């Protein structure tokens, strides 16, 4: 999960909108895969889904935060990273 958390923060850099961060179609693809794997492994699909949905939602929240921070950083421009300008 820690690796996934790192990847989620990295992925936020490549998103262009908050809708892209949430990607509901991708969530449903993941859930379909989880349910299918659960069935093949002998687990009730609803149990796997019930475990995964909150985890996915939490990762989306982390990615939204990273996306918002990236947007704020981009809005400030490169000079913000260097601190205030030197006095004349």
Which tens digit of pLDDT belongs to each residue from 4-58?
888 888 888 888 888 888 899 999 999 999 999 999 999 999 999 999 999 999 9
The mean per-residue pLDDT over the stretch 51-66 comes to 95
Token pair in block for residue 38: 């659960």
Domain membership of residue 77 (yes or no) is no
Domain membership of residue 81 (yes or no) is no
Contact yes or no for 79/86 (Cβ under 8 A): no
Range of the domain at 62: 2-72
Residue 87 pLDDT exceeds 60: no
What DSSP assignment string belongs to 10-38?
HHGGG--SHHHHH-HHHHHHHHHHHHHHH
Contact yes or no for 63/9 (Cβ under 8 A): yes
- The pLDDT confidence band at residue 85, using thresholds 50, 70 and 90, is low
Task: Give how many domains the chain has, as a whole number.
Answer: 1
Which CATH number goes with the domain that contains 32?
A: 1.20.59.10
Domain membership of residue 78 (yes or no) is no
Domain membership of residue 15 (yes or no) is yes
The mean per-residue pLDDT over the stretch 64-73 comes to 89
Domain membership of residue 24 (yes or no) is yes
CA atoms within 13 A on the CB side of 28: 3
């Amino acid at each position: 999960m820690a690796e996934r958390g790192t990847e989620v923060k990295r992925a936020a850099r490549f998103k262009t909108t908050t809708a892209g961060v949430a990607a509901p179609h991708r969530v449903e693809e993941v859930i379909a895969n989880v349910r299918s794997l659960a069935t093949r492994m002998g687990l009730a699909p609803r149990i796997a889904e019930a475990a995964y949905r909150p985890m996915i939602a939490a990762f989306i929240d982390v990615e939204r935060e990273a996306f918002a921070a990236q947007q704020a950083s981009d809005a400030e421009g490169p000079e913000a990273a260097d601190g205030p300008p030197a006095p004349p």
